[in-house]
Structure 1
Amino acid sequence: MRRYLVLLLVVLGTAGATAAACALSAWWWCLAGPLLALTGAGCRDLLQCREPVLRGRPLAGRPRGGRAVVLQERAAGVDVYAVGHEFLVPSLHPVEPPEEPPVVRVGGPDCRQPYDMALLNVSGMSFGALSSRAVLALNRGAEQGRFAQDTGEGGLSDHHLRGGGDLVWEIGTGYFGCRTDDGGFDAREFADKAALPEVRCVSLKLSQGAAPGGGGMLPSVKVSAAVARERGVPVGETVVSPPRHRVFSTPRELVLFLARMRELAGGKPVGFKLCVGSRREFLAVCRAMVAEGVTPDFVVVDGAEGGTGAPPAESAGRLGMPLTEGLITVHNALVGTGLRDRIRIGASGRVATGPDIVKRLVQGADYTNSARAMMRALGCVDAGRCHTGTCPAGVTTQDRLRARALDVDDRSRRVHRYQRATVRSAVRVMASMGVREPRGLTPAHLVRRTGPTTLRSYAELYEWLEPGVLLAGPPQSWAADWKAADPDGFARCGDGFSGR
């Protein structure tokens, strides 16, 4: 109730001053008048839908302006002469952008229910990490814009299903939503939920940029009764997902489990998500795919620069490859093993603008996911309270009164408009580069300043493998990793690291 304390005090003061003006002296109107104006402003804050902070903290939220952080980076603030600055290459013969933005067909030869993925989708954010209203607003926005929402590893909640939007159901190491009593994988429950029409794809989370090499964490203050029920855990206790999966322990077992998941899901697209740490480990997975003749339908690459609203924050940005290197590694490995045409690649990690999307497509992605920018479309003001459950915008809290600050109808429209405008921006940028479809993009379309007077394209900066070259005879720069990649064992500490 402290959030409404300022408004309550103003209302009481107004009532007292008005009574005194009527009963004692007209001079009291000098105080009652301003207080009446403040009362009106506070009521307007309480009832409006555009500013979540003001809705959740009427009057008290005004000093911070109630404004969400601006999504678009201002070009005027970019130092184009700084070493490391990157730019996309425009064409002197641009083309007209397509009337409808392109979509990406996700589904390999073993998939019976392929899905057309948008160029920008909602990245994994669980119910628990987000409030029920935030989850529902994202889902309704996805339904309005015909893009997908990743559920995050916290389970398939009713709030994900109520909005009618397409879902990528993410399964983490805790198997929330398809979890046995002892914390294992429940195949029957998984099959029942995967059959729901809202579930269009299933993603197995191996790791993410926010917590590579370790399981996710949900602080105890956010484990409400509803969250505990969805996850099958005790109320009010911190939830820490195991650092690794119990259903597989080798690359070969991982690949076979993905095939089993696809069968249990009725042939819907199945893939996995990871933050790449070792090129050798991912090559081991590729060797397992080749050996078993089984491939996932997609791989989502998360960058080490990915953020998290809950601890452990110390790992973000310090473990795993940044998205650029991770994307290029995965793309090259799949091309080199002759599997790229069967597997789509998603990119997740600080994607917020149209040029961001195009940049990731150049680097090897087929589509992108965004979490941070979607949160800002919901009204996030970067208050830094995600892990405390006291979010002033109602985005990352399980407190019902605090969550009331987020108006679902208004925010779902904003999510939809943000996604639509950003994809349109990406399509316009591609058109200005002389490209109508993502497949027309090449590494030569992205250039980096490497020195005060030197520029190099991605075609020059990075090595790009030819289809099947790793099977035929790997180049020297990949030979050691390819030879050491073991489909029956993940890399161990001390095995060494190589790769660019």
Structure 2
Amino acid sequence: MRTVFFTGAISLIIITGLSIYFFGLGYVFLIILILLFLVGLYDVIQKKHAILKNFPIVGHFRYMFEAISPEIQQYFIESNTDGRPFSRNLRSLAYRRAKNVNDTHPFGTQRDLGGEEYMALRHSIYAVKPVTEEPRVTIGCQDCKQPYSASLLNISAMSFGSLSSNAVLALNKGAKKGGFYHNTGEGGISNHHKEGEGDLVWQIGTGYFGCRNEEGNFDEKKFKEKSRWPQVKMIEIKLSQGAKPGHGGVLPGVKNTEEIAEIRGVKPGKTILSPPSHTAFTNPKELIAFISKLRELSGGKPVGFKLCVGRTEEFVNLCKEMVAQHVWPDFITVDGAEGGTGAAPLEFSDSVGLPLEPALIFVNGTLEKYHLRQHIRIIASGKALTAFSIIKNIALGADLCNSARGFMFSLGCIQALRCNTNECPTGVATQKESLTRGLVVSDKSERVYNFHKNTIHAVQELLGATGHTHTSEISIHDLVKGDEMVKLANRYFPDTVNTQV
């Protein structure tokens, strides 16, 4: 786009000059072109806005639409509250926090307070001053030799391949500065993860990328070597994800570059389909044994698994096996069906899996029933973008949260919904170098850090409003409609959910 801009601009100036010389046309047109050229030149040089850097001059039209009056925007484009999957209000909040500017909201709520999705905090008339130190959560059961102290908000699983090299590096540098972890996604550990020096959670998916043999099965030797890298703090086995539970990951061939193929141990240029399930285990007993094996091979680092809850009886059976073997994971990441940055068939993203709220209640209650909850941390993943979403998830049973799209917004994602096309205009979810160049790591890593810092600050303020000083004190009864959530849990999971969440 930038080459087109320079070529077109210079050509127009030459043509205009010749027209003036030969036909006596006015100089106004030439002056306008020169001004546009200067604006475009500035767009290419500046480092703050990936859209303008990738699309000189043309990119300004997007910002013009943002400045349209609320009335025209509401009736002809999109209201502040009805955008999907994230409304304009929520995206704007993420942008403002990432830019470290005023994040207050004017003129009262725009939410439907009577809607079925409405939920809020029960504040206290004895509110306390917010704590200044961020609450953290230690992950690691009795079999773990290297427990990890985690932030309340961390970067959810997004692979290098789905995201660009600059996006991965900016995320990791932001995580390093902010003291939170960065989940690698199932695509494996790249040089861009290592260059950022931020804490990593290495996700092991069904394709075993980064630790697979020639047949595509799990390779113990490769895993042992990489899992013991100091930067790797935890290991996560990916059973399923909210975007496409039971489907397996997809990396389009246009994104499968030689660099990515080398990291994953596959051939470049071909669409990579991860199997829908693992080959290293096929039942609860084998899964628990696999968890023990990974913990031993990694030198005692925390090992857990991620799932989108489907058949609840399978999770119950897994808990029974944990009790029988007296072995359990250090953490469980619960992904809601509404989550997911990955591309998926519409039927999977819309119609498969349990939403996060009932899934959290179910997992937490089931672990309580089998006396496992005190050993296992629960990580919530699914549209965790605001401080309230973090507090709500913790109230429903989680200990901490992962966010994917929140951190994508901090990188400059505009929700263009082109993640699966390799044409992401902001350089976040693409492997096109011409687009990736627009994402300036030094600027965006600072925004990742700011988004995390300001969101955690908002969590601390909400805690103070409830009269609490640590998220461990939050419960389901701190929520308006908390009783309704308990009733919902008892309705669908009467045999497994402890109502005293």
> 2:118 pairs with 73, 77, 85, which one?
85
1:255-266 correspondence to structure 2 within 5 Å: 255-266=288-299
Amino acid of the structure 2 residue aligned with 1:60:
V
Shift of residue 64, structure 1, vs aligned partner: 1.7
Alignment match, 2:72:
none
**Residue 399 to residue 369, structure 1, CA distance change in 2 (3 Å):** same
Q: Deviations over 1:345-402 (max 9, x none)?
A: 0000001000110000000000000001111111111112111101110011111111
How far apart are the structure 2 equivalents of 1:445 and 1:457? 12
How far apart are the structure 1 equivalents of 2:155 and 2:484? 30
Question: Tell me, what secondary structure is at the counterpart of 1:386?
Answer: coil
> 1:63 pairs with 61, 64, 69, which one?
61
Q: CA RMSD in A?
A: 2.2
How far apart are the structure 1 equivalents of 2:145 and 2:480? 39
**Residue 458 to residue 477, structure 1, CA distance change in 2 (3 Å):** closer
**Does residue 394 of structure 2 align to residue 361 of structure 1?**
yes
**Does residue 181 of structure 2 align to residue 183 of structure 1?**
no
**Does residue 434 of structure 2 align to residue 407 of structure 1?**
no
Amino acid of the structure 1 residue aligned with 2:331:
F
Alignment match, 2:495:
478
Question: Tell me, what secondary structure is at the counterpart of 2:185?
Answer: coil
Alignment match, 1:8:
7
Alignment match, 2:255:
222
Question: Tell me, what secondary structure is at the counterpart of 1:301?
Answer: strand
Shift of residue 28, structure 1, vs aligned partner: 4.9
Contact 1:210 1:313 in 2 (8 A): no
Amino acid of the structure 2 residue aligned with 1:170:
Q
**Does residue 360 of structure 2 align to residue 293 of structure 1?**
no
Amino acid of the structure 1 residue aligned with 2:55:
R
Question: Tell me, what secondary structure is at the counterpart of 1:340?
Answer: coil
Shift of residue 27, structure 1, vs aligned partner: 5.6
Amino acid of the structure 2 residue aligned with 1:406:
L
**Residue 445 to residue 462, structure 1, CA distance change in 2 (3 Å):** farther
Question: Tell me, what secondary structure is at the counterpart of 1:76?
Answer: coil
Deviates more, 1:179-188 or 1:230-239: 230-239
Alignment match, 1:308:
341
Residue identity over aligned pairs, in percent, reads 42
1:377-396 correspondence to structure 2 within 5 Å: 377-396=410-429
Amino acid of the structure 1 residue aligned with 2:92:
V
How far apart are the structure 1 equivalents of 2:354 and 2:485? 17
How far apart are the structure 2 equivalents of 1:15 and 1:166? 53
Contact 1:111 1:297 in 2 (8 A): yes
Q: Tell me the TM-score normalised to structure 2 length.
A: 0.88
Shift of residue 4, structure 1, vs aligned partner: 4.1
1:163-312 correspondence to structure 2 within 5 Å: 163-312=196-345
Which ranges of structure 1 fall in alignment gaps of 5 or more residues?
A: 449-454, 465-475, 483-500
Contact 1:306 1:317 in 2 (8 A): no
**Residue 107 to residue 276, structure 1, CA distance change in 2 (3 Å):** same
Shift of residue 40, structure 1, vs aligned partner: 0.7
Shift of residue 26, structure 1, vs aligned partner: 8.2
**Residue 379 to residue 51, structure 1, CA distance change in 2 (3 Å):** same
Amino acid of the structure 2 residue aligned with 1:430:
L
Contact 1:6 1:60 in 2 (8 A): no
Alignment match, 1:495:
none
Question: Tell me, what secondary structure is at the counterpart of 2:207?
Answer: coil
Question: Tell me, what secondary structure is at the counterpart of 2:306?
Answer: strand
Which ranges of structure 2 fall in alignment gaps of 5 or more residues?
A: 67-87, 95-102
How far apart are the structure 1 equivalents of 2:408 and 2:342? 11
**Does residue 452 of structure 2 align to residue 419 of structure 1?**
yes
Shift of residue 60, structure 1, vs aligned partner: 2.1
Q: Tell me the TM-score normalised to structure 1 length.
A: 0.88
1:26-45 correspondence to structure 2 within 5 Å: 28-45=26-43
Alignment match, 1:123:
156
